[in-house]
């Protein structure tokens, strides 16, 4: 229960003014520009776009600056902005097979057609602090080589051709949208994927890790992880055909998982899928593992009672903005609620003393 | 399914220039547009409007569609004095960019097409190809060349 409490206006104004000053920090240090954040804190920008569910690097960088680097606060700002935008429509599903891959690795096939390309990865770095970065910003130019121009088809398509992997029937149904209709259970896979891709990276990572440690283990191999640019195409009624309206960077992870077969399906591999805005491979791999765990019902597997199999648990707790809102509201005034609790405890204590006077005397 | 524009597609050329203009940086379009020094008389049919488009992906890359998240988009439409209508759809939130693309789209359907092609589209295409080439070259340098260690007697 809330009761309007007045009298905080001056304190709030002053708090916000101080916040602005603290955000700026020491004025002797040069101010950070939005462009600097966009160009140099790219992975933070990517995370804000993915969980804010809006692809716009400039806005994400601005949100990070405004939020003093608190990414969940920045995601909150992006989500709030997003709700003010009129929706022009939906795109044609992006063709990740036509991605210009900047990174593409497979843990299942060494000699994958198109090759294994590391891209600008943290992998194989020694995780030692680089004090050169503190000294000056000069970097050597990256090496270049002639691109051989070989196609990079999805690695999963090779297994598909042999019928060794569960097929993924294509439909042209318009997917349900949880930003328009509240999420209801049981959720379609489309809704689960939408929910996972905008879910909190830490939460999805934790859920994915739990499956690896044995809670609904589904032993995933990363068949392919690819990062790069894809064109976004949309039908424009007044033009009369579809045009490319932009280009976005995405990370895609496809996992191959064990499957024993069922009454209707011969033994074959199954899939988990992760697709995330920006360069976000930890999130994309996590998403694929959790997607696979949530598919137990449609694949005829047993419910092992594991958290990652429980779609209510996963989907209702993965959104960090919902979680933050509910969590942090408990710091706001609950004076009346607490007053009633206080009265109740005092009353119970009085009654207890009247009922068991001897016990109190014995103590 | 992507509607690929094959060689028989009558809209192929317009599709290509609209895509190129939508994806090119607003600053590049503005600079090249200004250099053309054209001031075609026109009516604004749709004032620039910023909105969002829900970007979709497919489960397992090939299956049923799902909503990945939105992207920002700005659109505008113009009609030249001769009656030709142009539409600008551009990624991001730059209103000027959308209006310039709408004008360029309209002009590309007139006798001015050659000038636009040479003065705006060709340089944008070259710049985009250059950016792609540079990233592809860096990416190619990180391609793994596996070699197998021979073990055993012979």
What are the extents of the domains in chain B?
Answer: 12-119
Q: Is the pLDDT of residue B134 over 70?
A: yes
Q: Given this model, what pLDDT does residue B3 score?
A: 46
Tokens of A12: 């709030």
Residues A306 and A229 placed together within one structural domain of the fold: yes
Q: How many domains does chain A have?
A: 3
Distance between CA atoms of A285 and A273, rounded to whole angstroms?
Answer: 8
End-to-end CA distance of chain A: 38
Of the residues A82, A105, A139, the one at which a domain ends: A82
Distance between CA atoms of A164 and A345, rounded to whole angstroms?
Answer: 64
Give the Å distances, CA to CA, from A7 to A11, A17, A147.
Answer: 8, 18, 66
Tell me: cis bond preceding B152? Omega within 30 of 0 counts: no
A207 neighbors A93 (Cβ within 8 angstroms): no
A87 neighbors B51 (Cβ within 8 angstroms): yes
Q: Which residue has the higher pLDDT, B66 or A337?
A: B66
End-to-end CA distance of chain B: 53
Q: Is the pLDDT of residue B62 over 70?
A: yes
| In a domain? residue A129 | no
Give the Å distances, CA to CA, from A357 to A177, A344, A346, A347.
Answer: 62, 19, 16, 15
Q: Is the pLDDT of residue B135 over 90?
A: yes
The answer for residues whose C-beta is within 8 angstroms of residue B122's C-beta and 6 or more apart is none
A119 and B90 within 8 Å at the Cβ level: the answer is no
A249 neighbors A278 (Cβ within 8 angstroms): yes
B30 neighbors B100 (Cβ within 8 angstroms): yes
Chain A residue with CA closest to B46: the answer is A238
Q: In this prediction, what percent of chain B has a pLDDT beyond 90?
A: 86
Average pLDDT over residues B94-109: 97
B16 neighbors A49 (Cβ within 8 angstroms): no
Q: Given this model, what pLDDT does residue A51 score?
A: 98
Residue A276's domain comprises 96-118+152-167+181-324
Q: Starting from the edge strand earliest in sequence, which strands make up the sheet with A241-257, in order?
A: A100-105, A220-236, A241-257, A270-277
Residues A227 and A278 placed together within one structural domain of the fold: yes
Task: Indicate the residue of A100, A189, A254 with minimum beta-carbon distance to B132.
Answer: A100
A85 and B51 within 8 Å at the Cβ level: the answer is yes
Give the Å distances, CA to CA, from A92 to A96, A118, B49.
Answer: 12, 29, 21
B 13-72 → A contacts, CB under 8 A: 14-15, 18-19, 22-23, 49-72
B72 and A247 within 8 Å at the Cβ level: the answer is no
Could you state, in chain order, the average pLDDT of each consecutive group of 10 residues for chain A (363 residues)?
Answer: 70 95 96 97 98 98 98 98 96 95 93 90 93 83 89 88 86 92 93 98 98 90 96 96 97 89 78 96 97 92 93 97 94 88 93 78 53
| In a domain? residue A146 | no
pTM, full prediction: 0.93
Contact residues, chain B, for A175 at CB < 8 Å = 56, 64-67
Cα angle: B22, vertex A234, B39; to 5 degrees: 35
| In a domain? residue A270 | yes
Contact residues, chain B, for A242 at CB < 8 Å = 2-3, 15
B143 neighbors B137 (Cβ within 8 angstroms): no
A273 and B146 within 8 Å at the Cβ level: the answer is no
Chain B residue with CA closest to A153: the answer is B61
Q: How far is A12 from chain B (nearest CA, A)?
A: 32
Q: Given this model, what pLDDT does residue B153 score?
A: 63
Contact residues, chain A, for B104 at CB < 8 Å = none
Cα angle: A292, vertex A294, A298; to 5 degrees: 90
Task: Indicate the residue of A53, A98, A145 with minimum beta-carbon distance to B137.
Answer: A145
Task: Name B91's bridge partners.
Answer: B73
| In a domain? residue A174 | no
Q: Torsions phi, psi of A266, nearest 5?
A: -70, 165
The answer for residues whose C-beta is within 8 angstroms of residue A166's C-beta and 6 or more apart is A259, A265, A268, A269, A270, A271, A299
Residues A293 and A199 placed together within one structural domain of the fold: yes
Q: Given this model, what pLDDT does residue A116 score?
A: 92
A93 and B65 within 8 Å at the Cβ level: the answer is yes
DSSP string, B23-65: HS-HHHHHHHHHHHT----EEEEEEEEEEEEEEEEEGGGTSSE
B91 and A171 within 8 Å at the Cβ level: the answer is no
B2 and A98 within 8 Å at the Cβ level: the answer is yes
A175 and B56 within 8 Å at the Cβ level: the answer is yes
DSSP type of residue A103: E
A247 and B67 within 8 Å at the Cβ level: the answer is no
Q: Is the pLDDT of residue B130 over 70?
A: yes
Q: Does B143 touch chain A (CB under 8 A)?
A: yes
| In a domain? residue A89 | no
Residues A113 and A198 placed together within one structural domain of the fold: yes
Average pLDDT over residues B132-143: 94
> Which residue, B40, B25, B36, B41, is CA-closest to B97?
B25
Distance between CA atoms of A250 and A234, rounded to whole angstroms?
Answer: 17
Q: Given this model, what pLDDT does residue B6 score?
A: 62
Q: Given this model, what pLDDT does residue A360 score?
A: 52
Task: Indicate the residue of B22, B62, B141 with minimum beta-carbon distance to A243.
Answer: B22
**ipTM for the complex?**
0.92
Distance between CA atoms of A229 and A77, rounded to whole angstroms?
Answer: 25
Residues A112 and A253 placed together within one structural domain of the fold: yes
Residue A348 burial (CB count, 10 A): 10
Q: Given this model, what pLDDT does residue B7 score?
A: 66
Q: Is the pLDDT of residue B4 over 80?
A: no
Regarding beta strands A54-55 and B65-80, do their DSSP bridges make them parallel or antiparallel, or are they unpaired?
A: parallel
Distance between CA atoms of A177 and A190, rounded to whole angstroms?
Answer: 8
């Amino acid at each position: 229960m809330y009761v309007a409490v007045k009298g905080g206006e001056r304190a709030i104004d002053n708090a916000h003014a101080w916040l602005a000053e603290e955000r700026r920090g020491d004025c002797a240090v040069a101010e950070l520009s939005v462009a600097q954040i966009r160009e140099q804190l790219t992975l933070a920008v990517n995370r804000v776009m993915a969980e804010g569910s809006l692809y716009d690097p400039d806005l994400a960088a601005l949100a990070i600056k405004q939020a003093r680097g608190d990414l969940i606060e920045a995601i909150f700002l992006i989500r709030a902005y997003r709700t003010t935008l009129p929706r022009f429509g939906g795109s044609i599903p992006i063709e990740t097979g036509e991605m210009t891959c900047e990174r593409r690795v497979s843990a299942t096939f060494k000699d994958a057609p198109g090759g294994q390309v590391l891209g600008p990865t943290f992998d194989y770095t020694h995780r030692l602090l680089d004090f050169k970065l503190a000294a000056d910003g000069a970097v050597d130019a990256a090496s270049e080589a002639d691109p051989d121009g070989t196609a990079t088809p999805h690695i999963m398509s090779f297994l598909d051709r042999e019928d060794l992997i569960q097929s993924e029937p294509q439909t042209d149904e318009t997917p349900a949208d949880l930003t328009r209709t509240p999420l209801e259970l049981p959720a379609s896979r489309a809704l689960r994927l939408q929910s996972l891709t905008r879910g909190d990276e830490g939460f999805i990572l934790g859920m994915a890790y739990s499956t690896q440690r044995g809670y609904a283990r589904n032993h995933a191999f990363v068949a392919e992880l690819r990062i790069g640019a894809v064109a976004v195409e949309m039908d424009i009624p007044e033009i009369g055909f579809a045009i490319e309206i932009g280009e976005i960077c995405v990370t895609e992870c496809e996992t191959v998982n064990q499957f024993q077969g069922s009454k209707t399906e011969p033994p074959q591999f199954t899939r988990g899928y992760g697709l995330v805005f920006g360069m976000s491979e930890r999130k994309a791999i996590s998403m694929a593992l959790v997607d696979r765990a949530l598919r137990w019902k449609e694949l005829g597997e047993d419910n092992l009672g594991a958290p990652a199999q429980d779609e209510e648990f996963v989907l209702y707790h993965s959104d960090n903005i919902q979680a933050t809102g509910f969590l942090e509201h408990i710091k706001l005034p609950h004076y009346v609620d607490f007053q009633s609790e206080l009265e109740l405890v005092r009353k119970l204590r009085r009654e207890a003393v009247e009922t068991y006077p001897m016990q109190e005397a014995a103590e | 399914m992507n509607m690929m524009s094959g060689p028989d597609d009558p809209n192929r050329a317009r599709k290509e220039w609209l895509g190129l203009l939508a994806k090119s940086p607003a600053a590049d379009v503005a600079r090249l547009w200004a250099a053309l020094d054209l001031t075609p008389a026109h009516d604004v049919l749709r004032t620039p409007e910023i909105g969002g488009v829900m970007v979709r992906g497919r489960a397992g890359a090939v299956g049923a569609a799902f909503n990945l998240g939105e992207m920002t988009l700005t659109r505008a439409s113009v009609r030249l004095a001769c009656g030709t209508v142009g539409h600008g759809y551009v990624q991001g939130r730059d209103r000027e960019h959308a209006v310039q693309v709408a004008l360029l789209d309209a002009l590309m359907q007139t006798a001015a097409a050659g000038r636009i092609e040479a003065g705006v589209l060709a340089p944008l295409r070259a710049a985009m190809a250059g950016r792609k080439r540079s990233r592809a070259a860096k990416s190619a340098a990180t391609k793994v060349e596996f070699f197998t260690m021979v073990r055993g007697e012979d």
